[in-house]
Every structure is written in C-alpha cells, then in structure tokens.
Structure 1
Amino acid sequence: PSETRTASPARPRSGPAPVTDVTKLCVCDLLVEQCDVNCCCDPDCSAAEFSLFTTCSVPVVTGDSRLCSQKAAVYSLDVEENPPEMIFKLIDQVNPSVFCIHATNYKQALSFSSPEMPTSENFDQLLKQFGSAAFSAGPHSWDMNTDTQNPSENETYRYEYGVPIQTVDGFLRLPSPVVSSWCSNANPAGFLVNQVTKCTRSVSVKNCGDIPAVSMLFYINSSILAVSKCHEFVFQVNITVQSIAVQSPNGTRTLLSGGDVLRLPEIVEGLCINIVFGVSYHITYTEAGEIIEAAAAFVLGTINEEALSIQQSFEISFTQANTEPVPLSGNPGYVIGLPLRAGYRPQGYPFPVEITTNKVSQLTLLQSTSSQDCLAAQGARTPILFGYNMVSGCTLRITAAIKCQPLAQTLLDLLKGQSFPEYVASFGNSQAQDVLDWVPIINLHLSEQVRISNTFQSSCQIPVSLEIEVKWTKYGSLVNPQARIVNVTATITTTTLKRLPSGRERTIPVMSSVVFTDVSSPAVPGYKAWPTINVKLPFDFFFPFV
C-alpha cells in the first residue's frame, strides 16, 4: 500500500528563558551611583529617599512590547504608610495583538553581529555550516522539553505553504547546487512549492555502490510525516516507486515494465548500472493540508570507467486529492511560449467545456522528423505555443497500388492528429464553466473533398496542408495589456492526384503551419469633448429687437 499509518512519537520543542530580565531593567536610572528623583526602579535609592517620592515616573517596566506574553515589573507607592513605601510586583503581561512575537530566546538575534570573513583556514568549516540551502540558526542549547503537556486533542496540525516536508529522520531531500554546480543534499522540499533542480555529482565505477546519492534507496528509504510534527502521534506515508526509465548513452529512455522493483547500483563488466540520473516526486495532499500519498519516478543510467561525474535532475510536484489539475497558460492573458489551451464540446452544451490535458489531444502540429517520411512521422506531434509561428512538413511517396480513401484519411489524421479539439480558450486562465471564454475553431474544409471514390478511376482529392491562423488582440489597460484570442481558423487544402500508371511512383509534400496575427486596433490618444452649456432662454428675451 502507498500509505502506512504508523504511530511515531513527536515531542514539542520549547526554548530557554527570555534573555531580558525586567527586574534588572530600569529606563529612568540616569545618574551613576545616585538616586534619580521619582525613579522607583533605581537600585541606588534608599528607603529614606523613597519616602520623599510623590509618584513613580515609570510605573511599568517591560522588555519588548511586541512580545505575546512576558514578565512585567510594576512599581507603585503606598502613600498610606508613614513614611511612604515602594511596592514592587512581578506580573505576567499578555499582548492581545495577533502579530505579536511568541518568544525572544535567541540572544544573537537581539543585535547585529559582524559576520565571520572566510579565509583559507575557516572556509571548509563555513561551507559545512552555511553551504546548504537551509541551515539552523537556533542555539545548540535548545532541547526537547519532556515535561510539557500534550496539546489538546481537538487542535489540528497541517502543512502550510513553504514549510519543509518532514520525514521520520529529518526532511524530504531535493538535492540542488549551492556554491558551485555540485549537488548538496541539504536542500529541503517545501510543501506546495514545485521545484526543478539540476546539479553535478562526483562518481566513479569503483565505488559506485558506496555512494548513497546514486542509489534509489537513498530517495525512498524514509517515510514522510502526513502532518506537521507537532503532536505525540504522527501518521507516516511511505514513498512508493511509480516508474523506472532506463536512459541509454545516446539519451533515449525506455520505460521498464516492472517499475516497482528496487534496482541498486552494481558493477557489470566494467560498467556501473542502475545509477540514478533523475528523480521526480509527486505528492498528493488533502484540502486540510495532510499528505496522503507520495510517489517517485526514477531515471536510471550506466557509467563507464572514464566517467568522473554525472548530472542529476530532481523535480517535485503536488496534486490535491479528488481534483483534476489543469495547467494554465497565463493569468489572465496568454504568455508567449506557453501552449494553447483547448477543449471539446461535451453532451449538454452550453454547459462547461471539457478541457483536455492530454498532450495527444491538445491543439498540436505535425512534428518534422529527420527522415521527412510522412508514414514514419505518424504520432509525432508538437504543441502549438502562443506567439510562435511554426512550419513543419514531410514527404509522401505514392504508388499505383494505394487506395484513395484510406490515403486521404491517413493524411487527414496526420495533419490534424487523432483527436482535433473543437474550442480554444480565449484567455490563459479560462475556466471550463465560463462558456463564453471559449472560442470555437472554424474549419474551412469540406468533407466531400476527402470522401470520394476509393479508387483512382479518374482523380483523387487528398489533403496536403493544414493552415491554422490564430487571431489575438491586446485586452485591458494600455499599461499592462493581456493577450486574448478572438478567432481560430483551421484550413485544410486538398489537391487532385491523378491515377498513376502501373509501376510508377510520385512524391508529394505535406505541410502544416500555424501563424499568430495581432488584430489589435492601434492605440489612439483621446481627449474629452468640450463641455456644452444647455441654456434655455425665455421666448421674449430679445424683444423688441427680434
């Protein structure tokens, strides 16, 4: 199972006592070794001098008014006594502000200290202490307080954005480069923070089995805590292996069928196989901020004796349970370089549009191959990116034995793909329920042009090109215009192919293209019209002249 519910003890952390002692703090003590008038907290004042005071100039002494809870020294005079006496009380003062500070127990944070300059002698020590992406600034004297009472059972704990994902032995590691391009394993993965990192790892064939960071076990041997480690019992979620892909020396990858089998590095005929080249974590969480599932996809490779280092890539993504993630291409307008968002009209339109997230079903274009063979290019598609005009094509060799109708259908599927969308989102963040935000794709080809006789008795109409024109305009303010799609047209061009004699061949080019046209009206400065005075005069105003 992907989730293991195991109790793990977690004790709350408490800091030492506050640094400031309010009983020794006196802001009105200005004279050295002399009693200040009406300064009740002055230690230089005697009882006889207190009897001459009329009031306490500073009745309450506190350390920092921004603290949530702190000790306060209260000074007052008992005028009923003869002579008057000073009364001292130490009370707990509570700050009602929601932005108060819980505790100031780190003495070094109360003042700015001069940083230690790196030298040739202390560089290795400083790199070890501060070289990672995250390090602890707390004093080593902090300890776990076992006498603290357990929190309330009704109090809930959850992960918040950016909080490091905790595991049984620390936190979820996402290696990244720090000072140089070399990998550092001290980078924690933050909750809901999608990250992609690449770094270099030093390896060798002789000791590849002794390097933990190149083994799959290094990334899945620790269980993730389902919630933040703040109470006594914490559920654990095991990291499962989602898939394993093997990368060849030329860069091609092959997905293994038994993807859940642990493959450890080993030396075979002078080569070290099953080296981790990449790890992709996928975390599933609930609306309450609890992690319920964690999976990892690995890319394994092989190194030879000449290899001194490898480049590793790491990625982490998050998905909320019971939801379907839909990638956006802008907010709100389209961003240049992001794919066009497409969808279909489901049954019951004009209800919400069905947005496609499958790369095969998106608005795509035929991808050119090195062989330029149309039959070999079937299935190779590239997404249409906003603002990028593209042209691709291939060549088709036709013989006399080829039938017309299957050839025409094959070319149509080659140009438009297996599932051509019906709608395109006008904005990069258009939602499925906003029906008016979706622009229908206008198809300018006739079905009769491709559905004719299935023989070459006279001639054959076959599609040879697909031209997609996307018209967009600048929407909104002139200071920050947003790209909005207003029209999409897909035009299929057919050509007549006459019957070929037996034994003859013909080669025809097949092309597809997309062009983006800016139809925005030019910005023209406008001025407000002069005000008009609508005055009604009496009918005899100009009498007797008119």
Structure 2
Amino acid sequence: MANVVVLLLSSYTSRLATSVLLFISVAHTQNTVVFQPSFLTATGPKTAALLLGNTSDISLYLRTVSPSSETGSIGPPSCVAEVTQWVLTREQVGKSAVRVRLSLDKNLRLCGQNETDADCCPKPLCVLETLQVSACVGGTPQASLLIQATIHALLVPSTAGSDNKTVIPNQVYQTLGSCPCDLTFGACDVRCCCDKDCSTETLKLFASHCLLGPFGGQVSPAPDYQCSVQSAEDSSDWFPFLCVQSPPENNPYLGLFYQGKTIATKRGPSFQRPILSAPLPDNVYLQGSPIFTVNDRYFTIPQKVLGRCVTNAPVAFLKNFEVECVTLLHSCPAGAPLQTLPKDLTVKVKNGQGGDAEVDVIEEVATDLSRFISSTDAVASSDERLACENVTLALDYKFYWKGNSITRISVTRTVGTISLNVALTTRYSAVFLNGEFAGEPNSGNPGYQVGLPVIAGIVDMLENDTGSIQRTSINLWKPVGDGFCSTAEKKPVLFGENSTSGCLLPVSGQNLTQCDLLRETVTSLQAALITATYVAKSGNPDYLTMTDWVNISYVTLNSSTSMDNNTSSCYGIPSHQHIHVWSLITSTVDGIPQRDIRAVQVSYSPSTWALDCGGGDVSSCVDPMETQLFPITSSVTFTDIPINTGPPKTRFQINFTEYDCNRNDVCWPELAFPITKYYTGEPYSQSLAKGLILVFFFVTASILGTPWRQIRQAWSCAAL
C-alpha cells in the first residue's frame, strides 16, 4: 500500500538556510530502507536527509570516500565506520522514518599568516570531500547516502568594529528620516536644504528653491499664524501686524507617530494619588483599519485579493465590498467556507469602545439556484449525480456602526443542495450601515482625490417639496468573459484617470434592415451607463444642498444628419460615448491642491455599421441571421482649467507697450519703486512704512522751510 511521505530536506550554510518541501510517494516493504534523497550537496556545516522504511534494526556508518582513478565510480557501501571531521546523529520522526543529520566539527575561520592552529581553514576552500553514510543490518549494507561537501571559509574582518552605536531618535517626537532628500553620502544634494553636507555658500545658491514637503525635510507644517506663510498664501493686509515670528523648532506639531502616552507614573502614597479617569479603549476603529475579534485576531470574510479568492481576508472598517468566487464542485465540501455551521459564524468582535459585539446568524434556504450555478456537466455518471446538502452559497454581513464603534453585526447565511460536477458561484458581501443607511465613503476632503470615484446623483423629491440628492455613479464599460455587452459589467469613473473601454454587440443582416430599432438599442445600452443628472463639485458634498452639485450637460446627436439606409448598413449609430470632466484647483490644504469639478459634458460620436464580407467569408452577407461583432465604446477625459495668475491686462497696457516694464528699460509705473510691490529687498509692510515716513518728512520740511515762509510773507504783503 502506497503511503504519501512528506520529506523535509534542509541544507544550512553559514549565512543562509533554505528549506525545500518535496512530496514523494514511496512504497514500503517489510525489509526495505532507502535514503531520500540518495545524493546531497552540502555547502554549509549542517545537512540532513531521511531514511525511510523498516528502521528498527538499522545501524548507521560514516566514512570518507573518493572515486576510483580507473572507473571514476564510488565503491560499494561499507559497514565499517571511520574517523571523520563530521558528527553523525539520528532522530526518529515516525514509525518508518529517521532523520539523519551531519554536523561539521571544525571551525570555518580562515587561518592567519604563520598560524599553527589546526582548527581553522588553511585555504578559502575549507572542505572538499565526499562522504558516504551506510545503513546496515547485522553488517549487511541496505542503503547508502552520498554527500558532496563543498564548504568555503568564513571571511571575518581583520579589525573589529567600533563600539559606537547608531542613535535612533525617538519617533514619537522626531521622524526617523529627518532629511529624505539627502540621497548622496558625503556630497551636497541640490535643492536639499536640510543636507548637512551643504556648506553655507552652497546653500545660498538654491536657498529660495528648497524642496518642499516631507521629502525636503519639512515634516512639521508651518502653522497659519507663522509670518513665513504669508509668502505662500494670499494673506490679509493686517497679517504682518498679528503674525508670530518663531523658529520652526517651536512648532507644536509632534508628528504622525505621536500617541500621547509618554507620561510615566510616579510612585507615591496611595492616599495622595489622583483619581484617574477610565482609560480609552484599545483598537478604536478608523476608516480602513482592520476589525479584530475578542481573541485579538483578524475578523475575516472570503474576499478577492489580486484577482483570486482568499478564504481568510481581513475586513476593513467602513469598507463595503461584494465578491463572487467560482469553485468547480467535484466532491462535497468538508470545510469552510463552503461548509459552515451557525456556531462557526457566531463570533465575538471588538466593538472599538472596550466591549464586544456578537454576530447574529440568519438562516436562509435558496430555492432558486440559477444565480449560484454557472454551468453543469451534461455527461455524468450515476455516482457523480450525488447531491451535497447544506452547502453555503452566500454570506451577507451587515455591520451597524456609530462614531468609531460597531454596535451590531448580522450575517445572512444562504444554504442549498447542490449536485456534483458544477461550477458553483458563491457570493460574499459586507456593508456598513449607519443606523439603517449604508455609509458611502467620500472621494476627498474637500477636493477630489485622484483615483477615487466621481460622485454623481439624481434628485429625490421629499414630502415638503424639497429635493435631496440620491447618490449614484457615472460608469464605463467593464467587459468580462467573452466581452459581449450582454455580459459586460460596469466600472465607476475615477477622478483624474482618463480611460477608454467597450464591449461587443452581435449584429446580423436582419438587424441592419431595422436601423431605427438598432439605434434605440445602442442608445439604451449607452444610457444605462449614466443614470445621474448631477455631479458633486467636491469630494464630500452635502446631499441636501443643491449648490454643491453641478448639472450634467448632454450633447444630443444632430437629427438633421442624413439617415438614408440601405439593406446592408446603418448610419448614425451612437457607438461611442464620451464623458468630458473639467476640474479646477480652488484652494490648498497643507500645501496639497484641492480640485473641484466645474462642468461635465456627455457627448456621442455616431458611426456607420455595415457588414464586412471581405476575406472570403460571405456567410454573414448570405445568411440574414448570421451575426458580426460591432464595438460599443465609452471613454472619459479630465481637463484641468488653468488658474488665472493675475488680473487681465487693460486696453491701455495692450495698446501702449512702451509703458510695459517687461519690454522697456524705462518703467514709469516704478517711479515710486521703494513703496511698490516690485521692490523685494524687504517686506512690503516695512518699505511702505518707510516711504510714508519720508513723505511726511518732505511735507514737514516744505511747510517749515524757506519756500513756504516766503510764500506766507508775500501773501501777508498782498493782504495789506
């Protein structure tokens, strides 16, 4: 009888240990033993193999062998032991298996010059020999193992390392990578102002063009009250008088790793200890954080990871999903997830507030199995027609949440009786409900983030004649399987990502005789992609405020286009649908631009469909029921509206270029240069104040000076 044996082969080197799992089927007889494998190559001081079979009376012998100079082969195994530099040990791992281990009893250090110690390697190739392990019973060899040992000496540095240790800063207050733009060791990196290798003279070359953000070492964002933020933002006129001039080291920002648990308790009398409030619960749930059970394990549901179904995938807080997994059912399942019991699903989960929430199981029996069975095997034997009862077909989870906690969890388990030799499609879903409504994630705060879905909606009129927006999405084609439009799915439009997709529609010659019906069919297919009438301007819109939404404009086809049809072609088929989205940068948050959607336009490109009878294939032109495939496509394009960096030029500036300061050496608008915005030698507030003081002194001198005194005297004489 054949038994499957798991063989673990380990070959250890001085720095690397590799383990290879081999599954070998070995036929055991009563008096047969065999080494698996029968040949090894050892590159490290340790190696091992398995001896399989009847090992009760087996003795092991080790010796060093060499190939014959005449034949080149190794001699027969011997049951006489020799003294070698290897240590042979054995370990019983089963009734019919023994693990044989060999360990080198020698130091692999390379010998130094004029060293007489024998326990070292005189050459870099320290060990080069062939070993033979013989398994004997009463002096008769039963099996042998050959080991080719090729081991090099360890290269140890001649000088020991210094005792200086790298001091890693406390990440609670200081980021580990304080200067990420310092890419070159011992050299100054251009525009990297935090590089310690840059001298003061070098920094002056690019002091005004330093790399911004965390890559440039500016981990702590400057507060709004700092005077340095005036150059980056459009501040008010009174800002220079109320801003704070402080070095960046005084920033209260403690970094992303700060958790607020840095105060150590001090020992003292119990009667003097203050009454402490209850500690905050652990594992407070945030959006995207994994959900834990009370045993500190991930709460898992079958999901798709990299296109494949994974049985135990963690569930993320506030992340809805719905997946389908196809399994070829050739035998009745015996374990999860296809065979589950209510007690297996009744799990206690941490609710995020120090307590727990237990999963409530709701049982349902599927009567219609059409949406779970994809295909059946038409040819099946009588044994294959056996049915499997209580197969888990669907697990639909509902998580009720409030704030940062989970209040209740329920799962609907759908079971059914499935025949063998079918393609079983199981469904798994999870939805997070805030009260009784699904929590829809935002696409930005406030502006859209690239890669998140564009939020669309339709007007839902309420009882008091006020309207609210019901959320939906704008979709593109997502062909799957054969690529037909009848089986194609939809994928949402992602902000900032241009995309083109489509599907195939089979059309016959008879369909081309009914062009109006064909146009209506294609139009209805394209219209099913976009059912919304509004698009949210920002990534977190208010569903009760209509000013947060913008209308979707549709460009209809020109009805005056010639629609003359013949028996083999149709004109004006709206086969391509194009979505054009215009976005604009409206503000910045911590230096990150915030983009809003300003306009959305949906247009159609008509095309002419005609049967292709070339290439010798005329069946579709002869048989009116024979079909050809025609593409139906959809695309989306995002366009950024350029920001107007300055006021528009006046007609005077356009016509009279001699007054343009950028084109002429003489610039009349800069006559009062020190008190204008063109002067950048010092802050505008200081230059303005100094200019006003000069004007005050000039006026005072004019009033009290000689010219004004002469004018007063002349005025007095004229009055007399």
Aligning the two structures, in what range does the TM-score lie when normalised by the shorter sequence? 0.3 to 0.5
Per chain length, whose mean CA-contact separation is higher, i.e. which structure has more relative contact order (CA < 8 Å, sep 6+)?
1
Higher helix share: 2
Higher strand share: 2
Larger Rg: 2
